[in-house]
Amino acid sequence: MLEIPSLDIELLILADWDYRKLSKSPCRYSKTAAGDDLVICAHNCKPHFEPLRWVKFDSDMYLTYADGNVHHYKVDNIETLPPTNIEEMITSETEDGSSMWDLTLFTCTPGGASRMAVRCVRVLDFQIETPSDYDGQDRLSLLTAGPFLFRTVLIIVKNDLR
């Protein structure tokens, strides 16, 4: 599910695309969220990506997966590309080969003369959690960075360091 709060829209995203699926819902066009290079396409109609024309730089977007995990993104760039320039749409890379943007949404402009690409970067939301089994002997804080960070840092502060 793709949520864009500033536009008050929530859209179901299909796992892969073809023309039949695209007529029903936005679709994953290429790459993956796990690889931080996901590309989603949709038609420029009211129930799909038509509202993207009003999205602003730094707007928040949330991509929620079936397992409940959520990726948070911010709009970093909005550009218009020629309609045949699909390769640039999906392969914008830095010098080291990594994707410049973690999420790209694209659709036709009104009339279909070109493509609008909304480029987003992933935001790591930090939160502090305290384990429910804390026994008071040591001070323990669990630091996690966002729901998808695969590393967890434990900070243990012994009583004598307080």
CATH code at 27? 2.40.260.10
Same domain, 44 and 66: yes
**154 pLDDT above the threshold of 80:** no
Helices (H), 25-154: 86-90
3-state secondary structure of 60: strand
Same domain, 152 and 72: no
Same domain, 119 and 130: no
Residues 65-120 pLDDT 10s: 888 889 999 999 999 988 887 777 766 666 665 668 899 999 988 888 899 999 99
Same domain, 59 and 79: yes
Q: What is the model's pLDDT at position 68? A: 87
Q: What is the model's pLDDT at position 145? A: 40
Which of 138 and 70 is assigned the larger pLDDT?
Answer: 70
Same domain, 31 and 95: yes
Same domain, 22 and 61: yes
The span from the CA of 31 to the CA of 106, in Å, is 14
Say which residues have a Cβ less than 8 Å from residue 15's Cβ, sequence separation at least 6: 27, 28
Same domain, 30 and 104: yes
The span from the CA of 116 to the CA of 32, in Å, is 20
Same domain, 118 and 135: no
Of the given ranges (35-39, 95-99, 144-148), which has the lowest mean pLDDT? Answer: 144-148
Same domain, 93 and 59: yes
Say which residues have a Cβ less than 8 Å from residue 44's Cβ, sequence separation at least 6: 50, 52, 107, 108, 109, 110, 112, 116
* Cα distances (Å, whole numbers) of residue 51 to 1, 54, 55: 16, 6, 7
**148 pLDDT above the threshold of 70:** no
Q: How many domains is the chain partitioned into structurally? A: 2
**45 pLDDT above the threshold of 80:** yes
Domain coverage including residue 8 = 2-123
Same domain, 60 and 105: yes
Same domain, 41 and 102: yes
pTM of the model: 0.72
Same domain, 141 and 95: no
Which of 44 and 62 is assigned the larger pLDDT?
Answer: 62
